[in-house]
């Protein structure tokens, strides 16, 4: 019935009702069977929609993803920038390069993207291996994206400035493009966390500290037990 209702136009409310009614069954399936992403997307296509994904996240956590993520990220941005500025050596130089776009464009999305990438560098992880940028005229981008296990992709046109809107932003899981036409990189970060919860996935090991910080310090979920790295950051942000 849900698949049938998905085929109808202007039917979001009915789809949402059916998604709510099938929540327990869907959670049992995803936790017990751990299906491949492509298989689960075919069975539950409604879940791979920003609106339904955010509702699913709230069903699981009782947290409103977008308002919580961005309000807390903005509230912590100044302290995070101070923490970045205190770093010296190679790490400090990388952090200075990461925040350069903020000096060229004062937009909130540019600032948020710099802060998120800076957090990744601060945790000694590589933002470029998670957020991968491609030029719109690059024929090899489709092959590279199909070989991506997980991450955010950004399609930009040649000569784009830091404040220019990308042509497309999306999320790839297990080589499958599961979401497209996301507004920007910070929004894609938030939606990626929702996917991890909805699909009962682990955070990528190469970026586990970045996402632990976002989950436990920004979204304030399951924050009782912190790794040493994230606990150190929490202490710094509290000063």
Query: What pLDDT was estimated at residue 146?
Result: 84
pLDDT at 68: 97
Give the pLDDT of residue 116. 97
Whole-model pTM? 0.92
DSSP for residue 53 = H
Q: For position 234, what pLDDT does the model report?
A: 95
| Whole-number CA gyration radius for the chain | 18
Q: 3-state DSSP call for residue 14?
A: helix
Q: What is the DSSP letter of 160?
A: -
pLDDT at 196: 97
Pair 206, 125: CB distance under 8 Å:
yes
Per domain, the residue ranges of the chain are: 2-61, 65-237
Residue spans of alpha helices (H) in 22-162: 23-33, 37-43, 50-61, 65-86, 89-98, 100-104, 108-122, 141-146
Q: For the chain, how long is the longest CA-to-CA vector? A: 59
Count Cα atoms within 13 angstroms, Cβ side, for 185. Answer: 27
Q: Please, what are the averages of pLDDT over each run of 10 residues along the chain (239 residues)?
A: 84 91 95 93 94 96 97 95 93 93 87 96 95 84 86 87 82 94 95 97 95 97 92 92
């Amino acid at each position: 019935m849900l698949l049938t209702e998905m085929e109808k136009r202007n039917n979001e409310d009915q789809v949402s009702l059916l998604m709510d009614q099938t929540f327990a069954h869907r959670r049992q399936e995803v936790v017990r069977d751990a299906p491949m992403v492509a298989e689960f997307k075919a069975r539950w296509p409604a879940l791979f929609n920003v609106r339904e994904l955010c509702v699913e996240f709230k069903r699981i956590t009782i947290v409103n993803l977008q308002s919580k993520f961005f309000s807390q990220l903005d509230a912590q941005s100044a302290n995070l920038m101070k923490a970045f500025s205190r770093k010296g050596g190679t790490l400090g130089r990388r952090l200075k390069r990461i925040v350069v776009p903020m000096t060229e464009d004062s937009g909130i999305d540019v600032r948020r993207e710099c802060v998120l990438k800076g957090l990744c560098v601060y945790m000694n992880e590589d933002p470029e291996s998670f957020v991968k940028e491609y030029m719109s005229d690059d024929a090899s981008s489709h092959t590279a994206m199909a070989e991506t296990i997980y991450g955010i992709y950004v399609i930009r046109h040649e000569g784009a400035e830091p404040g220019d809107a990308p042509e497309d932003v999306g999320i790839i899981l297990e080589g499958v493009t599961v979401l497209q036409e996301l507004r920007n990189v910070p929004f894609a970060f938030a939606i990626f966390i929702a996917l991890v919860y909805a699909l009962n996935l682990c955070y990528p090991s190469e970026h586990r500290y970045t996402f632990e910080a976002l989950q436990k310090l920004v979204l304030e979920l399951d924050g009782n037990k912190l790794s040493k790295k994230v606990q150190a950051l929490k202490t710094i942000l509290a000063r």
